[in-house]
């Protein structure tokens, strides 16, 4: 298997936070990690150079790579483009072309950050949830889609569609994760209204027969959104579709103090994946050296664990993050109270190296 890692810094704060992750990779290489870094363009960065958000070269390099580390895509600069040529399309197309159906988002509260959350400490202390989001189906990709014009009145339409194989594939991953944790899985849907959700629920129930040790529950998305802020610790593993997963993962991220803390892995059946922070490109703070690089750095840890099977280095990175938080060093988004010192993106990256 190749040992190439494809680096896609992307847009906005993407390149800045990626620099900090690369510093860590360089140190890992000195400690014996055998990887070769390749670089390519995606999103607005690719549009500016090639006129398209996902050049063929990037797709080919991604197909050849063992894993992909991605910063962020998008920004106001490209919002004027039509929906088919926006930076986000590049990311969606890449997910689809690599068959990355499974998106794993760990919602984990570092105890040092419990004051940075907008929720009461007792509601969130010890929080540790995994969201398993289906990533290449549902309303994001369903056909037909488009715009129409009926006698001068414009309309836009999308199709939400899932077949049972897609649901079973993501369900199976979620059950496997649940069985190795607290053996509780909550499937989130809108089965009181949507046919796709009714099928979703049926398939999840049929899988439950194969995983008798796992306690499966179901929740409607509107209720789940409310329960996540009311009593988040009732959840352990959550499985849900593409659109609901997109929305509740941002909500859940905020429970941990800042969306700047949340990494993610998007995987296919062979364990190949894109590892990226859940936050976006944050164009308002891009280039200011103030963005939080921790979600990017924690995404690197996920890459080491899930694609390179190097648990040791992954744990070292996670421990380094925890140590730096112990030292009360923070970027402004997780600053919290007066005891902490606010430092820059680069300084935080350097501190992680020091703690490594
Ligand atoms: C995410 C992002 C993407 C998504 C965007 C950038 C297309 O919000 O990864 O959650 O909607 O999947
Ligand atoms: Mg999102």
Residue 116 among known ligand-binding residues = no
Residue 287 among known ligand-binding residues = yes
Protein residue closest via CA to atom 12 of ligand 1: 246
Asked whether residue 194 falls in the same domain as residue 213, the answer is yes
Closest residue by Cα to residue 333 from 251, 257, 274, 269 = 257
Strands 67-72 and 273-277: parallel
222 labelled catalytic: yes
140 labelled catalytic: yes
Residue 43 among known ligand-binding residues = no
Q: What is the domain extent for residue 145? A: 118-256
21-30, 261-270, 330-339: which range is least confident on average? Answer: 330-339
Mean pLDDT of the chain: 95
Rounded CA separation 339/327 (Å): 10
- For residue 339, the model assigns a pLDDT of 83
- For residue 292, the model assigns a pLDDT of 96
CA of 355 to the centre of ligand 1 (A): 31
Give yes or no for residue 135 CB within 6 A of ligand 1: no
Protein residue closest via CA to atom 10 of ligand 1: 246
241 labelled catalytic: no
Protein residue closest via CA to atom 4 of ligand 1: 246
Asked whether residue 74 falls in the same domain as residue 152, the answer is no
Give yes or no for residue 250 CB within 6 A of ligand 1: no
Asked whether residue 82 falls in the same domain as residue 126, the answer is no
* Residue 62 neighbours by CB under 8 Å, 6+ apart: 6, 40, 68, 94, 97, 98
Asked whether residue 127 falls in the same domain as residue 251, the answer is yes
Domain boundary residue among 256, 289, 313? 256
Asked whether residue 62 falls in the same domain as residue 141, the answer is no
- For residue 258, the model assigns a pLDDT of 82
- C-beta separation of 71 from 345 below 8 A: no
pLDDT beyond 80 at 169: yes
- For residue 186, the model assigns a pLDDT of 98
Residue 24 sits in a domain of what CATH number? 3.40.718.10
Asked whether residue 138 falls in the same domain as residue 199, the answer is yes
In a domain, 111, yes or no: no
For residue 131, what are the β-bridge partners?
Answer: 105, 238
- C-beta separation of 45 from 13 below 8 A: no
CA of 279 to the centre of ligand 2 (A): 7
Task: Work out the end-to-end distance of the chain between its first and last CA atoms, rounded to an integer number of angstroms.
Answer: 28
In a domain, 61, yes or no: yes
Mean pLDDT confidence for 270-284: 94
In a domain, 350, yes or no: yes
Annotated catalytic residue: which of 11, 45, 189, 246?
Answer: 246
- Provide the token pair at 297: 């750095």
Asked whether residue 226 falls in the same domain as residue 150, the answer is yes
Give yes or no for residue 265 CB within 6 A of ligand 1: no
CA of 313 to the centre of ligand 1 (A): 28
- For residue 115, the model assigns a pLDDT of 82
DSSP letters for 153-221: EEEEE------HHHHHHHHHHHHHHHHTTTSEEEEEE-TTT-HHHHHHHHHHHHHHTT-TTSEEEEEEH
- For residue 14, the model assigns a pLDDT of 98
Q: What's the pLDDT tens digit per position in 9-40?
A: 999 999 999 999 999 999 999 999 999 999 99
Asked whether residue 251 falls in the same domain as residue 266, the answer is no
In a domain, 214, yes or no: yes
- For residue 117, the model assigns a pLDDT of 84
pLDDT beyond 80 at 337: no
Rounded CA separation 242/189 (Å): 11
Domain boundary residue among 225, 256, 287? 256
Annotated catalytic residue: which of 183, 220, 250, 332?
Answer: 250
- For residue 33, the model assigns a pLDDT of 95
In a domain, 279, yes or no: yes
Asked whether residue 57 falls in the same domain as residue 125, the answer is no
Domain boundary residue among 256, 278, 300? 256
Omega within 30 of 0 (cis) for the link into 144: yes
- For residue 297, the model assigns a pLDDT of 98
- For residue 116, the model assigns a pLDDT of 81
Confidence of residue 340 (pLDDT cuts 50, 70, 90): confident
- For residue 335, the model assigns a pLDDT of 85
Q: What's the pLDDT tens digit per position in 218-230?
A: 999 999 999 999 9
Residue 35 has phi, psi (to 5 degrees) of -135, 155
Question: How long is the chain?
Answer: 356
Give yes or no for residue 20 CB within 6 A of ligand 1: no
pLDDT beyond 90 at 90: yes
Asked whether residue 72 falls in the same domain as residue 127, the answer is no
Please identify, by atom number, the ligand 1 atom nearest to the C-alpha of residue 250: 10
What is the total count of domains within the chain? 2
Asked whether residue 99 falls in the same domain as residue 130, the answer is no
Asked whether residue 38 falls in the same domain as residue 130, the answer is no
Give yes or no for residue 347 CB within 6 A of ligand 1: no
For residue 146, what are the β-bridge partners?
Answer: 157
Give yes or no for residue 92 CB within 6 A of ligand 1: yes
In a domain, 242, yes or no: yes
- For residue 159, the model assigns a pLDDT of 98
């Amino acid at each position: 298997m190749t040992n190439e890692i494809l680096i896609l810094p992307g847009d906005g704060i993407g390149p800045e936070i990626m620099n900090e992750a690369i510093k860590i990779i360089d140190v890992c290489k000195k400690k014996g990690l055998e990887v070769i870094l390749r670089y390519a363009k995606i999103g607005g960065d690719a549009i500016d150079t090639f006129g398209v958000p996902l050049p063929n070269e990037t797709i080919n390099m991604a197909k050849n790579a063992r894993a992909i580390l991605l910063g962020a895509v998008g920004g106001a600069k490209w919002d004027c483009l039509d929906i088919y040529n926006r930076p986000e399309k590049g990311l969606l197309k890449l997910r689809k072309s690599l068959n990355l159906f499974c998106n794993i988002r760990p919602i984990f509260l570092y105890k040092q950050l419990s004051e940075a959350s907008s929720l009461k400490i007792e509601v969130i202390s010890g929080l540790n949830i995994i969201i398993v989001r289906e990533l290449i189906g549902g309303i994001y990709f369903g056909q037909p889609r488009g715009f129409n014009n009926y006698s001068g009145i414009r309309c836009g339409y999308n199709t939400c569609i899932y077949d049972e194989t897609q649901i079973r594939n993501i369900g199976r991953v979620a059950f496997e994760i649940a069985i190795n944790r607290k053996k509780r899985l909550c499937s989130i849907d809108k089965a009181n209204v949507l046919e796709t959700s009714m099928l979703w629920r049926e398939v999840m129930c049929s899988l439950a027969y194969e995983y008798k040790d796992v306690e499966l529950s179901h929740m409607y998305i509107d209720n789940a959104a409310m329960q996540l802020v009311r009593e988040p610790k009732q959840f352990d593993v959550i499985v849900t579709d593409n659109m609901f997963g997109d929305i509740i993962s941002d909500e859940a991220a905020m429970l941990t103090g800042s969306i700047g803390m949340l990494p993610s892995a998007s995987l296919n059946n062979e364990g190949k994946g894109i590892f990226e922070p859940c936050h976006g490109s944050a164009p308002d703070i891009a280039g200011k050296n103030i963005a939080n690089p921790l979600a990017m750095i924690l995404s690197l840890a996920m890459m080491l664990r899930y694609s390179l099977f190097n648990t040791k280095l992954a744990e070292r990175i996670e421990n380094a993050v925890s140590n730096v938080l112990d030292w009360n060093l923070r970027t402004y988004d997780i600053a919290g109270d007066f005891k902490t010192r606010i430092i820059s993106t680069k300084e935080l990256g350097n501190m992680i190296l020091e703690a490594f």
